[in-house]
A and B are shown apart, each in its own frame.
Chain A
């Protein structure tokens, strides 16, 4: 089975082991240590770590398309935000009549805009199962349509990157409009509870953190399963020599479309887990800057390794938390510098450094450091 095969790999076992150990440790330190103790992990920190794990899942999704398919998506923030909005809509409906205006059906911002009924696309979001399906479906459908159009006409390389950036930019502009019915500038916020649990209690926050850890583990295994399958190998072939793969008889566009849609859905899940933890979703998640930031997480961690993406996402976001707290002005300098330094001096990222030490311990074709950035035909 393609999903169980990764579980027998050592690298996956190590990754899952570290991840579970970390999640368990944080949980224990939060629950057992008394508040005020030096080792106590506060609920705030738990939520912060949960946020990092969401970003890590998002980074894994980006690494799947960039590292193993050669598509530099500068629009993955769009899929992340769509998943987040789907979850946000569910959480909005859960508020019920506890909003400022006390309307049992309409969210506050709709009452504020004098709308008298729910728009059709808000129907069904009061049911958790429907919303959770939409978390996968909304980004998945967008990726399907967009990917179908793009891959069918063989848009690749920098062209595709620019178009994905335009996609997320267009969506950002659209979601900023009040008429869209997604809360405009302010987005969706003021959430109360999720499937019956109060979002403002520490227990729910811890639960969300653990759920995010599990989602990351599952997402990682799925991606790993894909890249080690036959389809994954074709996908790597597409990355390294798209034209050659096509001439060998593979339907490159279908491979690309499949991987792209899976990646978008993973990003959507990350977004859906992110929203209840930070308590808000607004159009700024669609901003091209955010999408391109994700790429630098992956680049720093090491492209085409999956675990590198996780390391990069956590490291960069930890640095961001520290920097923006201590000297906010310096953060953009640091981020900009990171872009330059990583691409120029650390093309294989942190994972590349680790691999250099280990020197090809197993014979995994995707992991033995043989990644060639671009073949000649792709770079011409």
Chain B
């Protein structure tokens, strides 16, 4: 007994010694060495009627290796060595010679001719039961994650053989989610098999559940032959439906918010350059694209470290896009002062060149950008609502960028000058502000923010030459909707357009929703031609 406890100890330091000792004992006295050996031998020797008892004995032993044994058994991998009578686990059963291992120690025992092996018998009925038994073993696991998964797997699969052990399990101290899940599983079983009293109780338990199996069971109960239970189940379903509705609303809002924050990111740089210089930069979308490609390039430079690459590409994307933006401003836009329509055309030409440049130099195909581990996955709120992490990061990022821009605009010298030039260029210049310098810096800032948008977008959409085009019209709509030169307007417009789009989408389809939003904006412009927050005073003339 002492030795077996010693063997079962998970202490890794002693593992090598343990193996040696175990081997020694096996060689010396095969019967006394390990209770596991006897258990396995019983299983191998059992007649079909005794197999249940043999399995139960293994489970009841509480041996931590029990799960592996039963798993191997269920997968036809337990065999008996005809020569030595030892029960072994088959690791590789291809070819004439099979690789085997000792199930007690996990030692590889080398290859052996398959004729020397005798498979431990199993049939489908036993296999079916074994599944439940294994799930039960998992439920007793020390690892909460294994426990939770097992509880999840138990949903809707409870039968006579596991209901009592489950009830026993419920008497123990369990983590909240595991307990809820098991209670629900048992309730589903009771609803289907129990007497009317048990059914009513089961319905009460299931009322709080959003799991689809619970709803299916309640629906069955509504259609069932017990009128009392049917009425109660109907009520339960109504209350569940309400909760689901709320979750759906929350989900729509979340998606709307995330789409909206993408729009805000894409549009806010545009709002700055448009507001300050009265210039529409049609190449803005391509600056976003450059930011996204910077992320991709960073990840190529730092293979295997997508997280670090992503963080580094935030400043890098900003710089790349800002420099490109300044280059556009110096080479094209400054020559077109006071001719906004021509500027629009020229920058459109620039956007075509940039797109084709990416197609020619990199590839016309989409590039894949890896999402780092800490950004993938989702936050599970309940059965009906889980929020994907990458979108949450994008929302957060958009807010941080927005706050940063707000700070620059309100608290720095540059912001002060930018606001002055926005309001009245001539007056600002006569007060000694170098408008040209302000133009360059604002254009760099706006373009840099486009680069940041690209970094964020690379995490939620494909990075390809058309990335910018897909967002440019939406960004314009946000700017037009929010009002020129007003960051709050852009924020509000972006978030509300994103949300409206997501609200319309389920019943209109994504294309129609987009069309409807465009039509809505066109109609909105009727009422407020200068957007939600129009510029006031002298600056508004135009």
User: Residues of A with Cβ closer than 8 Å to B?
Assistant: 72, 146, 149-150, 152-155, 157-159, 161-163, 165-167, 169-170, 173-174, 176-177, 288, 292, 295-296, 299, 329, 332-333, 335-340, 342-344, 347, 373-374, 377-380
Number of A-B contacts (CB under 8 A): 141
In this complex, what residue of A is CB-closest to B517?
A170
Q: Which chain A residues border B344 with CB–CB below 8 Å?
A: 72, 158, 161
Closest to A298 in B: B345
Bound: A380/B351 CA distance, A? 25
Whether, in the assembled complex, B112 has its beta carbon less than 8 Å from a beta carbon of chain A, the answer is no
What residue of chain A has the Cβ atom nearest to residue B521's Cβ? A166
Verify A173–B514 contact, CB threshold 8 A. yes
Identify the stretch in B313-321, B493-501, B523-531 within 8 Å (CB) of chain A at 4 or more residues: B523-531
Expressed in whole angstroms, the minimum distance between the Cβ of A231 and any Cβ of chain B is 23
Say yes or no: is B338 at the interface (Cβ < 8 Å to chain A): yes
B339 and A177 within 8 A (CB): no
User: What 1/0 mask marks residues of chain B from 308 to 352 whose CB sits below 8 Å from any chain A CB?
Assistant: 000000000000000000000000100110111111111011111
Q: How far is B345's CA from A103's CA once the two chains are assembled, in angstroms?
A: 47
Q: Are A155 and B525 in contact (CB under 8 A)?
A: yes
State whether A170 touches B340 (Cβ < 8 A): no
Contacts A329-B360, A332-B356, A379-B339 known; A292 to B278 CB distance under 8 Å?
no
User: Which residues from chain B sit less than 8 Å from chain A, CB to CB?
Assistant: 274, 278, 280, 332, 335-336, 338-346, 348-353, 355-357, 359-360, 473, 476-477, 480, 511-512, 514-515, 518-519, 521-523, 525-527, 529, 539, 541-542
Give CA–CA (A163, B473) in the complex, Å. 9
Q: Taking A162-B480, A336-B351, A377-B541 as contacts, is the C-beta distance between A155 and B529 under 8 angstroms?
A: yes
Question: What is the CB-to-nearest-CB distance from B241 to chain A, in angstroms, rounded to a whole number?
Answer: 30
B359: A residues at CB distance < 8 A: 329
Q: In terms of DSSP, what is the predominant structure of the interface of chain A? A: helix
Question: For chain B, what secondary structure do more than half of its interface residues adopt (helix, strand, loop), or is it mixed?
Answer: helix
Question: From residue A247, how far is it (CB to closest CB) to chain B in Å?
Answer: 13
B515 touches A340 (CB 8 A): no
Complex interface: chain B residues within 8 A of A177 (CB): 511-512
CB-nearest residue of chain B to A332: B356
Give chain A residues whose Cβ lies under 8 Å from the Cβ of B274: 158
Q: Closest residue of chain B to A288, judged by CB?
A: B473
Assess the A343–B353 pair: CB atoms within 8 A.
no
Tell which of A163, A167, A174, A332 has the most Cβ of chain B within 10 Å. Answer: A332
Closest to B515 in A: A170
Residues of B within 8 A of A158 (CB): 274, 278, 280, 340-341, 344
Residue of B nearest to A162 (CB): B476
Task: Knowing A333-B356, A335-B352, say if A154 contacts B529 (CB, 8 Å).
Answer: yes
The residue in A149, A153, A166, A295 that gathers the most chain B C-beta atoms within 10 A of its C-beta is A166
B345 contacts A343, CB within 8 Å? yes
- Asked whether A159 lies within 8 Å of B336 as measured between CB atoms, the reply is no
Question: Do A374 and B340 have beta carbons less than 8 Å apart?
Answer: yes
Cα–Cα, bound, A173→B352 (Å) = 21
Q: Enumerate chain B residues within 8 angstroms of A373, measured Cβ to Cβ.
A: 338-339, 342
Q: Distance (Å) between the CB of A102 and the closest chain B CB? A: 32
Subset of 10 A-B contacts with CB under 8 Å: A154-B529, A159-B480, A167-B518, A170-B519, A173-B515, A177-B512, A288-B473, A336-B350, A339-B350, A378-B542
Q: Which of A169, A176, A339 is within 8 Å of B518, CB to CB?
A: A169
Q: Assuming A149-B522, A347-B342, is B278 touching A339 (CB within 8 A)? A: no
Interchain CB contact under 8 A, B348 and A292: yes
The 9 closest A-B pairs by CB, nearest first: A339-B349, A336-B352, A336-B353, A332-B356, A343-B346, A170-B518, A380-B542, A336-B349, A340-B349
Most buried by A among B341, B345, B351: B341
Residues of B within 8 A of A379 (CB): 278, 338-340, 542
